[in-house]
Structure formats: structure tokens, C-alpha cells
Amino acid sequence: MERISSATLLPTETAFEGTIDDMSFQVSSLPWDTIRAPLVVPLLRLSVFLCLIMSLMLFVERVYMGIVISFVKLFGRKPEKRYKWEPMKDDIELGNSVYPMVLIQIPMYNEKEVYQLSIGAACGLSWPSDRIIIQVLDDSTDPIIKDLVEMECQRWASKGINIKYEIRDNRNGYKAGALKEGLKRSYVKQCDFVAIFDADFQPEPDFLWRTVPFLLHNPNIALVQARWKFVNANECFLTRMQEMSLDYHFTVEQEVGSSTYAFFGFNGTAGVWRIAALNEAGGWKDRTTVEDMDLAVRASLKGWKFLYLGDLKVKNELPSSLKAYRYQQHRWSCGPANLLRKMIMEIITNKKVSAWKKVHVIYSFFFVRKVVAHINTFVFYCLVLPATVLVPEVEVPKWGSVYIPSIITLLNAVGTPRSLHLLVYWILFENVMAMHRTKGTIIGLLEASRVNEWIVTEKLGDASKPKLAAKTPKKTRFWIGERVLMWELGVGAYLFICGIYDIFFGKNQYFIFLFLQAIAFCIVGFGFVGTHVSSF
């Protein structure tokens, strides 16, 4: 009998080991194969369908606004041509009584860096001194800052400026509560209009001369809104990205709403209200974190018209730290969604406005711009589209994955021509922030925790003090709780895995976008966006 060598057995052992590996792989993939066809594929197809519907809604909305704004620019439909406007003139017999009484409200909360700028700009407004009252509403909790603000008010009062320093013993209602409380003062009864400026806003001296005549000669106008001008747009990458997003809002959305006699939202500052319209609408309410939008909707439902002056710009500051920007975006996404939840039936049952205006407010202003835009941007481009790489049975048509997003992006970018070369970076950054906005939108719709969270946006005043800002030491210590954002890093890892899979096994060729988007999520996730100013 021949002796069987070990070499003879080797192939058999190798084949046996390979069989075991194959069996292990089949066993491990069995749960995925079990749920893939009956559950994952149908759900993903449904998700793609819903995302495509939302993309079409956004596409139609953007094209409509693009057509309207082109018509406005082409035919020069300036506010002076659509409404009566005459410059204010002196009257020898009536004297200064020919000028309406104007109240200037400046709400503040621990505004150490910018309080002098805002108070100084308000006191520098060109208007008859006996026909203007400046009201500083200070909710500061820091006694040192309160003393500084009060001394600044006293300094201007000594120069003959009619300025009032008002404080409360609580912060109920936050900004809305402060503005509401300020209007209760006895001296406000003599005022016809109220101009509101946040603590970092600096109006030009002729602001009232350019806005008040519209209100004076057109009794159906409740609000005149000015445009924002960002003095620190070039400070860092974060502020450049914000400028691109907000410029579209002011260049297109606000202009279209005003030009079509439809509805546009009050921006909470740099605007002048007719006090009678404000009171008729029910005054300030603090039921959401967007008290300005709440007031605008209620005034619109009363039949009042709003006017936007795109040529009138008021200087202000963009948040330059990622932490401050995230808090702001949470408020701006959560508040409108929650307001829609609270007011939708009130809007539908209203009998003072046309059906067209109701559709515009509910569908266009709230649903498409404040809900669909946030959810679709994150869910489609950061979750669903990458998932189709892992599930090749589900396909996304080119018009939905390439053509429509490209057109929407180009239409969004028209507001800031100087930053067109940053378009790719802007797309990636907006997709990252869309996750935060989506979370805020869902919280607002469900009225979950943090729905009424109000954190005042930090203002640094660096734009007006470049030399001081340059000397400010940067934070060198690395705090995980402050700078590492796990949600962003988690999505970044998911996109990176999908990109790797697409290279070796996929057929969609999405890997370039997936890798770039994954890098963007990781950059934000590790906090390498915006400025980091030392706290000591």
C-alpha cells in the first residue's frame, strides 16, 4: 500500500477551506439577501420617487422666480413706479409736525462688541430731532455690559438725542418679548412708525428719508424692508458661503415677493413697520423662534402689503464661528416649520386674502422653501443617492441626479456673481448644513425638544476693528465637545464607504461626488470652518 504524502492532501485541504469561506460569506449575507428584495429595494425606490417629486417642486419654484426677477430687471419695475413716493419737504406753517413721529427700537442682549456701533448709527439717523425716539431694549444679564450700554445712552442723551434706555426684570419671550414690552411705553403712543435694528445693524443716515415716504403716501403698506449688506463677508470661508445663500434670498426671493404684490417674510431687522398695522395683526408673539415671520404672516392675512427696497442696504455682521452659525440655522429652520404647523388652518380659513395668496404662503413660502428645500437637499443627495450605489436595482434618472440639480444650483448662484468660482465649495457646504436644517425642520414640524430654543447669535464686531481682530489670539486647545461633530463625521463615513463601493462594484460613477461630499462633512465635523476666537 502506497504511503499518501502530505503534498497529495494539500489541494484537498485548500479546496475545503475555500468551501468553508464561501459558506461563511453566504451565511453572513443571508440576512441582507432576505430583506433586500422585499424591503430595501421597494423602500429605496419609493424614496427616490419622493425625492424626484420634491426636486421638481424646487425646480418649478426656482424657474418661476427666475422668470419674475428677469421681468422685473428687464422692465425696470422699481418701487417708485409701483407705489407713490415723494420726498419729504419742509412746511413753513406746520413746521416739523409735517414729519411723522418715528420710533427706533434696538433690542440687545450682552452685545459688548457692537452696542456702540448700533446705538451710534441709530443716533446718526437724519430726521428732525423732535420727531424721533430711539429706544434701546437691553435684556443683558451681564451687569458690566448693562452699565456700558446705559452709559452710552446717557452720552448720546447729553448731546440732545431723544434716547430711552429700557430694561426688564426677565427675558420672557426673548426678542419678541422685549419689542412688545417696548411698545407699551406711554411715549410710543405718539409714534406712527417703528424701525427695528438688531444690535449689529448700522443704517445709513438717509434710511428714514428713503423708507418713511412709502408708508406715508401708501396707506395700504404695512412694512418697508431694506436689504442686508454684510461687512465681514470676506472674513473667512464660512462668511463667504453665507453671503452666497443670503444674497439669493435678498436678490430674488424678497424681490419677487414684493414685485408680485404677494407675501414675503419680514427679516426681523432693517425694516420699518406701520404701528397701526402691527397692532391690528395682534402685535408681537413669542410662540415660535421666528417672531418676525409670525408677525408678517398675520399682517398679510389682514390684507396689508409689504414693500422691499433692494437698493437700500443696511450694514450688518455675519456669524463667523461655526457654533454661532449652527445655532442660527437651527432657529431659522425650526421656527418656520413650527409656525407652519401652528398657522396652516388659520391661513386656509382666512377670508380677507385671495386663494392665490393662501397658496403662495402655504405652498411656495412655507412648504417648498422652508420644508422641502432643506429635507430634499440632505435626504436626496446625502442619503438616498449614495444608497443607490449599494443597491444597483434602483436607478436614478439623469435628469433627476444631474440636470435639475445643476439648473437649481445655477439659479441659486445668480445672487452673488463675484463668488461663482466658489460654486462647487458652496454646493458641498450647503449639503452639509442641510443635515442640520433638516433636523431643525423635523423638530419644528413635530414640535419636539429644542423647538423653542433661542440662543442669541454671537457678534464679534471684527469687521469694524480689523487691527484688533488681527491681534486676537486663536484658540489652540482642542476640545472634543466643542469642535468634533459626530453626526457630520458619521454621514461623512457613510459617503466614503459608498464611494469606495462605487469604484470597485458600482456602475453609477458617483464616487467623485461622494468623496468630495465626504471630505466636506469631515471638514465641518472636525470644526475646521469659521473662526475660533480665544475665550481668555
Expressed in angstroms, the distance from the first to the final Cα of the chain is 89
Dump the DSSP string for 349-384: H-SSS-HHHHHIIIIIIIIIIIIIHHHHHHIIIIII
Q: What's the pLDDT at 13?
A: 44
Helices of type H across 218-290 = 237-248, 254-259, 275-280
Q: What's the pLDDT at 532?
A: 61
What are 42-50's contacts with CB under 8 Å, separation 24+? 44/384, 44/387, 44/388, 44/391, 44/394, 45/394, 47/379, 47/384, 47/387, 48/384, 48/388, 48/394, 48/396, 48/400
Q: 286 catalytic, yes or no?
A: no
- Which three cell numbers mark 245? 445663500
Residues in CB range of 226: below 8 A, 6 or more apart: 203, 207, 211, 270, 271, 309, 312, 313, 314
Q: CB–CB of 394/37 below 8 Å?
A: no
d(CA 140, CA 220): 37
What 3-state DSSP class applies to 133? strand
d(CA 479, CA 464): 29
Q: What's the pLDDT at 3?
A: 45
For residue 344, count CB atoms less than 10 angstroms from its CB and return exposed for 0-12, middle for 13-18, buried for 19 or more: middle
Q: Which of 139, 198, 200, 286 is catalytic?
A: 139
Q: CB–CB of 328/436 below 8 Å?
A: no
Q: Which of 198, 286, 292, 294 is catalytic?
A: 292
In tens, the pLDDT along 124-173 reads 999 999 999 999 999 999 999 999 999 999 999 999 999 999 999 898 99
d(CA 257, CA 61): 12
Q: What's the pLDDT at 457?
A: 80
Residue among 369, 394, 141 at smallest CA distance from 257: 369
Angle ∠(506,512,518) on CA atoms, nearest 5: 100
Pairing type for strands 271-274 and 132-138 reads: unpaired
Q: What's the pLDDT at 160?
A: 95
Angle ∠(331,232,440) on CA atoms, nearest 5: 15
As a dihedral over the C-alpha atoms of residue 221, residue 179, residue 364, residue 68, rounded to 10 degrees, the angle is: 40
Q: CB-hemisphere CA count at 13 Å for 396?
A: 30
Q: CB-hemisphere CA count at 13 Å for 367?
A: 12
For residue 171, count CB atoms less than 10 angstroms from its CB and return exposed for 0-12, middle for 13-18, buried for 19 or more: middle
Q: Going residue by residue through the chain (536 aa), what tens digit of pLDDT does each one get?
A: 444 444 443 344 444 444 544 544 454 566 767 887 788 999 999 999 999 999 999 999 999 999 999 998 888 778 888 899 888 887 777 778 889 999 999 999 999 999 999 999 999 999 999 999 999 999 999 999 999 999 999 999 999 999 999 999 898 999 999 999 999 999 999 999 999 999 999 999 999 999 999 999 999 999 999 999 999 999 999 999 999 999 999 999 999 999 887 678 999 999 999 999 999 999 999 999 999 999 999 999 999 999 999 999 999 999 999 999 999 999 999 999 999 999 999 999 999 888 888 999 999 999 999 999 999 999 999 999 999 999 989 999 999 999 999 999 988 888 888 888 999 999 999 999 999 999 999 999 999 988 888 888 877 765 445 443 333 444 444 455 557 899 999 999 999 999 999 999 888 889 999 999 999 999 999 999 987 654 43
Give the sheet arrangement for strand 102-108, strand by strand: 163-167, 132-138, 102-108, 193-196, 271-274, 221-230, 305-316
Q: What's the pLDDT at 59?
A: 97
Residue ranges of domains in the chain, CATH in brackets = 81-320 (3.90.550.10)
Residue among 224, 220, 197 at smallest CA distance from 212: 224
Task: Give residue for cell 401708501.
Answer: 218
Q: What's the pLDDT at 407?
A: 93
Helices 404-413 and 237-248 meet at what angle, rounded to 10? 100
Percent composition of the chain: helix, strand, coil (DSSP 3-state, to 5): 60, 10, 30
d(CA 284, CA 180): 6
Longest dimension (CA), the chain: 135
Task: Give residue for cell 408708508.
Answer: 215
Length in residues, the chain: 536
Task: Give residue for cell 436595482.
Answer: 393
Q: 292 catalytic, yes or no?
A: yes
What 3-state DSSP class applies to 218? coil
For residue 76, count CB atoms less than 10 angstroms from its CB and return exposed for 0-12, middle for 13-18, buried for 19 or more: exposed
